Structure 1
Amino acid sequence: MARNPERRTALVDAAIEVLAREGARGLTFRAVDAQAGVPAGTASNYFASRDELFTQAGSRIHVRMAPDPDLVAEVMSPEPSRELVTGLMHWLVRRMTEERTGYLAFLELRLEATRRSALQAELNRAVRAELDATVDFHLNAGLPGDADTVKVLYLAMTGLLLEHFTLPEVLSETELGDLVATVVERIVPAAPR
């Protein structure tokens, strides 16, 4: 197997682009080579199998979709409140919309994980770690609600984003921003008076 880490990352990023555009069935070594603009056969020199390529894409997708820590610090400057959580959820939707390719690839990876045990193990590990980190972040920041609040908010926002990216007309009678605000209002407790 080839050992150039920059090229390996570029190939995994190309795989994510292919997943978003063509779905899991379109993820072939040839398609990755074409997307990355490298000679035919390059991807197969870096990955032993499609399973490994899927698993590496599952590991990389979280790196691509993670927010910049400096921006997180900036966004977290107001006092902890339900309004701040609403702002964070609006920011999440904006970030996912800007990283549409990554989010669509992530959805493809989640579906493919039902058929590939190594990918499922990687996504279980990565998503669980992200969820645990999100719960810790929420609690340590003094945002309203408890760990269950964060988990329910996670589930609601995951569903909202799934609908937004795959069937946007289903909820088209309500602005996306209004839906985000309603989700937070219904899940996150208001500050005591």
Structure 2
Amino acid sequence: MNQDRRDRLRDAAVAVLAESGGRGLTHRAVDAAADVPTGTAKNYFPTRDALLRAVAERCLEQYRALAASLAGAGPGPADAEQLAALLAGLLRDVAGPGRPRVLAYLELQTEGTRRPWLAALLDPIAAGDFAAHAHLLRTAGLPAGPERARALTLALHGTIPHLLTGAPATLAAAGLDDLDRFARGLLAAVCAEEAR
């Protein structure tokens, strides 16, 4: 099968799922979004489950590519400022160009509540964030115990719905109206020394 066409269909499926939700993800809708003849998506992804799997795999590829581009070619952020810049970049992507991918991923998580195989496919993706954030904390020379990595990961995940909806009062109340300041403050809070 043609890999370029397959990727085009997967990108279209991500866009359809983000825009129309789980009920809107059909082979016909993907064909229309990809501007290909009717039946093309069905040839590549014969079942709805195959289509959902394709979206999940594409979302993961896009997320990993973004994280790699923000981290650069080196071993990772060398200090807290570089890590804060990387985290702010990830959050900007959620509210900007990555919005369709993130919306599609959230739809996949909802679908995963009814499809155990999909939940199992998504589990390593979300679980990987905990290890990745622990690694980033260590690379930046910050305290990186499991509790701190969990706090950082859960705080970042908690920002996602607010960034997606973009309600100004909520963004201001959460400190998400200035993502650089938010990321620096989050790192300071997560990595603060224990009160003695």
TM-score, length-normalised on structure 1?
A: 0.83
Q: Return the offset for 1:47.
A: 1.3
Matches of residues 173-192 of structure 1 in structure 2 within 5 Å?
Answer: 173=173, 174=175, 175-177=177-179, 178-189=181-192
Tell me if structure 1 keeps the 8 A contact 2:71–2:86: no
**Quick one: percent identity of the two aligned structures?**
32
Q: Does the Cα contact within 8 Å between 1:51 and 1:116 map onto a contact in 2?
A: no
Letter in 1 for 2:109: R
Residue 127 of structure 2 corresponds to: 128
Q: Which residue of 1 aligns with 2:172?
A: 172
Distance 1:54 1:78, change over 3 A: closer
Aligned match for 1:25, one of 23, 26, 36: 23
Amino acid in structure 1 at the alignment position of 2:134: V
Q: Can you give the 5+ residue segments of structure 1 that lack an aligned partner in the other structure? A: none
How many correspondences in the alignment? 186
- C-alpha separation between the residues in 1 aligned to 2:120 and 2:38? 30
Q: Is the 8 A contact 2:109 2:122 kept in 1?
A: yes
Q: Deviations over 1:96-150 (max 9, x none)?
A: 22211111111111111111222111101233345434433443x2430213322
1:9 corresponds to: 7
Kindly state the Cα deviation for residue 5 of structure 1 after the two structures are TM-superposed. Answer: 2.5
Q: Is the 8 A contact 1:14 1:36 kept in 2?
A: yes
Deviations 1:76-101 (A, max 9, x none): 786423x3332222111122222111
